[in-house]
Structure 1
Amino acid sequence: MSKVLSALSVSVDGYITGHNPGPGHGLGDGGMLFDWYFAGDVPSQVMDGFKLSEPSAQLFDTLASRVGASLAGRNTYDDSEGFGGGSPHPTASLVVLTHRPVPEASDRQTIVTTGIEDAVAAAKAQAGDKDVALMGGGVVTEALKAGLVDELVLHQVPILLGRGRPYFQELPEHIQLRLIEAVPAAGVTHLHYEVQR
């Protein structure tokens, strides 16, 4: 059965972008959140160009090989220049949750405007027997509120950014997590949690 997960790079103080993210600026000054993608000599078997440390490569490729569809919020979509008409994952389709028209969407992208439940359902339908990867703090928070998230992975980078876009926005109640594994690696600690229901 398909699962819904989020695996994002995050600063120790909880930000997934740096200062001033946006179209034409990407992650703002938060690009160091992804330095661990290139902190080793083990090529990723899923993402071309990534050379990770051994522990990161093993965890990253295991997670990335599970993904059949990605689901991004509008800010993530715009910050990433619409992923060049494709998807952040080389073989997965992309669903974009937005409340505004996306005139540049391609045939590899599905636009959903009717809420998180419909967006997750569309992504699951496209993922088949694989999993759905959530991208963006707003999407992750809305999916958590709706009880739709199975796993969270925080690729925690040892930096305090001070501000930017947070991984999690305001949640209405406590959500219990169970630590599945913690993997220290070059420039990052991978914290893999199961969301308890």
Structure 2
Amino acid sequence: MAKLLYSATMSLDGFIAGPDGDMTWMTKLPETGPHEVADGLWQQIGSLLTGARTYHGNDPNAGTDQEGAFSGLWSGPEFVLTHNPPAQATPGSTFVTDLSTAVQAAKEAAGDKYVCVLGADVAAQCLEAGLLDEILVFVAPVLLGDGTPLFRQAGGTFVALDEISSTAGPTPTIWLSVRR
């Protein structure tokens, strides 16, 4: 069965988006060439579980051939967790109002691949509910100073993690499993 993977690129100071959800900083990163983990990740994804702010947020590649998830390489079912589903359906996207239903539907759609969680709030909800399996962080060589943190847990909840793998380089990665 599918696992839930929260994957995000994070600034060195811990932010996945700048102030007001700004993602344009991603287009300012230096080209680092092939990346062992990032280049093949999209092929391991069977579905997306996305928060409403991420879904409606600014795609730094909008209007280019790299628009969309994984720089436009990935396509497939997307489940958007929202309190306000739209009146009209959007092709490829299913709007769901509760976490449990969204996770179950995304897992079924993913088959034996990952459900990629996009959005800090949805990832925190999955973690709090004991549903998040793995976390993959790409550490970008920038400082944003403010914005959306990788995780925000009211009260500072402690969560133990175990390393699956890590890579060095211009954009280091840390792949962790959530200890149960």
Q: Please state which band the TM-score falls in when normalised by the shorter chain.
A: 0.7 to 0.9
Secondary structure, aligned partner of 2:107: helix
Question: What is the identity percentage for the equivalent residue pairs of Structure 1 and Structure 2?
Answer: 32
Secondary structure, aligned partner of 1:68: strand
* Deviation for aligned residue 1:18: 1.3
Higher relative contact order (CA 8 A, sep 6+): 2
Distance 2:14 2:131 in 1: 21
Residue of structure 2 in register with 1:176 after alignment: 160
* Deviation for aligned residue 1:101: 2.6
Q: Which amino acid aligns with 1:166?
A: P
Q: TM-score, normalised by structure 2?
A: 0.84
* Distance change >3 Å, CA 105–CA 161, structure 1 → 2: farther
Distance 1:189 1:122 in 2: 32
Residue of structure 2 in register with 1:48 after alignment: none
Secondary structure, aligned partner of 1:110: strand
Gaps of 5+ in 2: none
Instruction: Report the aligned-residue RMSD.
Output: 2.3
Secondary structure, aligned partner of 1:100: coil
Residue of structure 1 in register with 2:150 after alignment: 167
Query: 1:16–1:164: 8 Å Cα contact kept in structure 2?
Result: yes
Residue of structure 1 in register with 2:113 after alignment: 130
Q: TM-score, normalised by structure 1?
A: 0.77
* Deviation for aligned residue 1:181: 1.4
* Deviation for aligned residue 1:185: 2.3
Residue of structure 2 in register with 1:30 after alignment: 25
Matches within 5 A, 1:65-76: 65-76=43-54
The answer as to 2:7 corresponding to 1:14 is no
